[in-house]
């Protein structure tokens, strides 16, 4: 059998002397793996970098086989980020977290959202908030979506400023005031009411929010930790208040 689709390179592993096994996320086929013959050649090494966009043709005798990939480069995004530590960390975080999706299960909305984040990496004022939104989408696609539309205690849609760590539901300022120390902050940009670019504090709060639930529902049960690149982004934002840094 055979299929062809555009995809994002997530990871590459050496296979034998000259080949590689590529892990690629596509809109219609989900996370897929395949053998790339000659994948370690001088010609293919720049193509087989996480974050690059490729046209993938997958062939195998049976669907359950590993199969072979023939890859054509479309957008070599990884090479554009050399020397851009924060942006490279964002790319690494995205590709690492996408590897947690079930194999061969399509997630077209998450794929398109990932493309949006990758395209926005050149804009230091935009991509951090988009990364937070992408992680919310990842939680949702994996069945652990948060309910941020109304207060869990009162049902109101007004003045939602917290999220319950127990339920993943929003809590209003009035309802959560008495025990706000135990609640997670809900940044304004996740409520769709803030037109301007989110500030550093809101982005950090957003990353802490998604990080909490990713650890509980995704990283922890799989026995893995959050990507080191994600920790690096949070540390840098807390220290410097900006998404711009050089390696």
pLDDT tops 50 at residue 246: no
Pairing of strands 68-75, 53-59: antiparallel
Q: Which helix (H) or strand (E) holds 54?
A: strand 53-59
* CA pair distance 45, 117, nearest whole angstrom: 23
Contact 40, 14 (CB under 8 A): yes
pLDDT tops 80 at residue 15: yes
The predicted-structure confidence for 128-152, as pLDDT tens digits, reads as follows 999 999 999 999 999 999 999 999 9
First-to-last CA distance in the chain?
44
Q: Over the chain, what is the mean pLDDT?
A: 92
Counts for the chain of helices (H) and strands (E), in that order: 7, 8
- At residue 81 the predicted structure's pLDDT band, cuts being 50, 70 and 90, is confident
What pLDDT does residue 226 have?
96
Average pLDDT over residues 8-30: 94
Residue 108 — φ and ψ, nearest 5°? -60, -40
Distance of CA 19 to the CA centre of its chain: 27
Angle in degrees, 0-180, between the axes of helices 200-214 and 127-141, rounded to the nearest 10: 20
Going from the C-alpha of 142 to that of each of 94, 139, 172, 199, 207, the distances in angstroms are 15, 5, 26, 28, 18
What pLDDT does residue 153 have?
94
* Nearest by Cα to 11 from 238, 227, 246, 239: 227
Contact 131, 123 (CB under 8 A): no
* CA pair distance 64, 74, nearest whole angstrom: 27
* CA pair distance 244, 169, nearest whole angstrom: 32
What pLDDT does residue 86 have?
93
What secondary structure letter does DSSP report for 198? Answer: P
* Helix intervals (H) in the chain: 85-98, 108-119, 127-141, 173-176, 200-214, 220-222, 228-240
Q: Using the structure block, give the residue that is written with the tokens 């947690």.
A: 100
pLDDT tops 80 at residue 245: no
| Superfamily (CATH) of domain 2-76 | Nucleic acid-binding proteins (2.40.50.140)
CA atoms 154, 155, 160, 162: torsion sign:
positive
The full set of domain ranges for the chain reads 2-76, 80-148+186-240
């Amino acid at each position: 059998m055979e299929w062809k689709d555009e995809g994002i390179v997530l990871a590459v592993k050496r296979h034998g002397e000259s080949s590689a096994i590529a892990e690629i996320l596509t809109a219609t086929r989900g996370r897929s793996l395949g053998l790339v013959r000659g994948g370690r050649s001088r010609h293919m090494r720049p193509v087989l970098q996480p974050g690059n966009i490729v046209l993938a043709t997958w062939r195998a005798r049976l669907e359950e086989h590993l199969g072979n990939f023939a890859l054509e480069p479309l957008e070599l995004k990884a090479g554009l980020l050399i020397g851009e530590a924060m942006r490279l960390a964002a790319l690494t975080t995205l590709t690492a977290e996408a590897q947690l999706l079930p194999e061969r299960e399509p997630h077209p909305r998450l794929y398109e959202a990932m493309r949006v984040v990758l395209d926005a990496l050149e804009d230091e004022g935009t991509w951090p908030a988009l990364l937070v939104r992408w992680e919310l989408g990842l939680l949702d696609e994996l069945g652990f979506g948060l309910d941020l539309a109304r207060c869990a205690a009162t049902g109101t849609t007004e003045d939602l400023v917290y999220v319950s760590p127990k339920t993943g539901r929003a809590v209003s300022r009035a309802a959560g005031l008495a025990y706000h120390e135990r609640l997670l902050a809900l940044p304004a940009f996740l409520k769709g009411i803030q037109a301007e670019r989110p500030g550093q504090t809101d982005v950090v709060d957003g990353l802490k929010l998604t990080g909490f639930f990713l650890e509980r529902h995704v990283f922890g049960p799989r026995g893995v930790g959050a990507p080191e690149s994600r920790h690096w982004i949070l540390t840098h934002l807390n220290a410097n208040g900006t998404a711009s840094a050089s390696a």
